[in-house]
Structure 1
């Protein structure tokens, strides 16, 4: 079994349904890779039963009755839009009659992903962090790397080479200067080359972002036409293009090192995707209007429930907690 592929096929319908659920959740994740999409196509075309099972899952998620269930659900007083944050573990959702079967099915889409997703990149990584974990490792050349939540790295420090592959997530690099041996970091789309500096590489679904804290780095796509970034510069690199150099405070890129994330007029969907990196389960936004709502502010990533409550109090949204692993924003 490859690291990006669900368990081997079985003749049992339940096993095929479980695989279909895994693929459905994985393909909707911000961090889904091109290789995973390719493996899904292979699995999807391998058996008519696979296509049928996946179609059933998709039909359920798009079913109007399910969304009517969300509309029918009412918030309990502990988490109402106008209430103050409450630390009680008894927060719950009062669910309309007949809604529980649909909500249970929705939860079933999430729970298998909790088991499957952590193994996607950690299985073959040299260094890896779990969801919500941040840790620093020292490399053999004296450089230090701090791995953000859900991050995986592969490292090659042999024969004078200094090479790191960011397989998943985000990392802060403090590189020991060595003029004879440049330090190289490859993301999904980006190539970064340095001698000695401090910078962040962040991998998202559609692009990598390189942000420089101090020093100078060269950033390129496919190692062609490198751009030079200085302190407080950042650049996005995607599969198709190398973006323009942007100037922004380096503190924004490194805020997670101090337990927070900062946004300035950013769509809610990006804010929720970032918050989701620090908690298990799924955060789902009901519609496009809410997804495009602009958000500014600094939020605590050490307590994502508190962050969600803060968003609920300052924006015209409601937070529905169906299970500890499924939160819907409507």
Structure 2
């Protein structure tokens, strides 16, 4: 007679799909599935409705972690790192850090926290999830065009002519890359998700403020990065610190700063009366700007039927505010404020010295 075997309880049976679901979830969240693994995963899901239910439960618990306050997330990540290091040293120990955080961890998320500590890949899955964008979009304008954009989290972005902005949102930060052009920002405050603008060699970091950034490497005399603040404050620093280290500059409302092409920051100065971004009202402002650079600025908004060949004329300085859509007004005013005249020849208008 064979020896009777103890019957498996329903509770014991229920742990099998749960354990397997945990293993599949960690591998999926960590991006660890190959093509063969993906086929096996789909077969496992289809084999039993309990499998899909268990997997969905782990996924939903994971999503609850998004509701944790910033301090809770910080504590969680630190303690997970500690647990991972302790496991690597093969020094088993019991931790009850989640009990210390019970005042801020939602009940559903508590299960997810315990899940993450119990599985070897949990910390990697967390880090992987934090690095995955939740929103990406590219915005661009043609010459003479401007664009207003409301981002998903409520911030506003306005692009000037011939500009491009690449927006990426993560769970713990917001990032805009400005490969070229000008942009004005009105950032929705969120201390848990800093807002970074990457323009050329600089990183501009804010929480909530209104400011403008210009990066036009192809425009003579304006190849560096310019940052001007209208409200709040921003932090300006090199995107990549040099070996010697670079001090960041904190700008407050009414201040501006310009860097060179390498990211070396100049002196903080006051925002001019025209404001941080006069282009929002279809104006360009010049303050003792060489004439050839002024013409290049007009060229960002459309064709410029004016040329200047004489170096002495190109170096003459222009001050004033103009509508870039009405270059005819600028042309008519130019001989009245500078010692020049307009010479038309072969359908081309050249700015020459008044004595020629």
TM over 0.5, yes or no?
yes
Gap change, CA 1:276 and 1:322, over 3 Å in 2: farther
Q: 1:208: which partner in 2?
A: 225
Greater radius of gyration (CA): 2
Distance 1:174 1:128 in 2: 18
Given that residues 171 and 193 in structure 2 are in contact (C-alpha distance below 8 angstroms), is that contact kept between their aligned partners in structure 1? no
Distance 1:153 1:185 in 2: 9
- The question of whether the paired residues in 2 share the 8 Å contact of 1:232 and 1:250 is answered with no
SS in 2 for 1:253: coil
* Matches for 1:82-121 after TM superposition, within 5 Å: none
Tell me the secondary structure at the aligned position of residue 318 of structure 1: strand
Structure 1 partner of 2:257: 235
Q: C-alpha offsets along residues 239-291 of structure 1, whole Å, 9 cap, x if unaligned?
A: 33111111133634321111112222222222222222111367532122122
- What CA deviation, in whole Å up to 9, does each residue of 1:160-213 have, x standing for no partner? 431000111101111111111110001112210000111110113220101111
**Map of 1:273 onto structure 2:** 296
Instruction: Report matched runs for 1:48-127 at 5 Å.
Output: 126-127=138-139
Cα distance in 1 for residues equivalent to 2:344 and 2:206: 45
Residue 132 (structure 1) aligned to one of 144, 163, 174? 144
Structure 1: where are the runs of 5+ without partners?
Answer: 1-124
Structure 2 counterpart of 1:295: 318
The question of whether the paired residues in 1 share the 8 Å contact of 2:231 and 2:254 is answered with yes
Q: Distance in 1 between matches of 2:346 and 2:148?
A: 32
Corresponding residue for residue 234 of structure 2: 217
Does residue 244 of structure 1 match 2:267? yes
In 2 relative to 1, CA 321–204 (structure 1 residues): closer, same or farther, beyond 3 Å?
farther
Answer yes or no: is the 8 Å Cα contact 1:233–1:246 preserved in 2.
yes
Look up the SS of the partner of 1:185 in the other structure: strand
Matched, 1:145 2:157: yes
Within 5 Å, give how 1:16-55 maps onto structure 2: none
For residues 298 and 222 of structure 1, do their structure 2 counterparts lie closer, same or farther at Cα, with a shift above 3 Å needed? same
2:209 maps to which residue? Answer: 197
* Alpha carbons of structure 1 residues 293 and 138: separation in structure 2 relative to 1, 3 Å: same
- Of structures 1 and 2, the one with the larger relative CO (CA 8 A, separation 6+) is 1
The two structures have a TM-score, normalised by structure 1, of 0.57
What is the RMSD of the two structures over their aligned residues, measured on CA atoms? 2.4
Provide the secondary structure at the position in 2 that maps to 1:149.
coil
TM-score by length of 2: 0.53
Q: Which runs of 5+ in 2 are unaligned?
A: 1-136, 218-222, 242-246
Does the CA contact (< 8 Å) of 2:225 and 2:261 recur in 1? no
1:35 corresponds in structure 2 to none
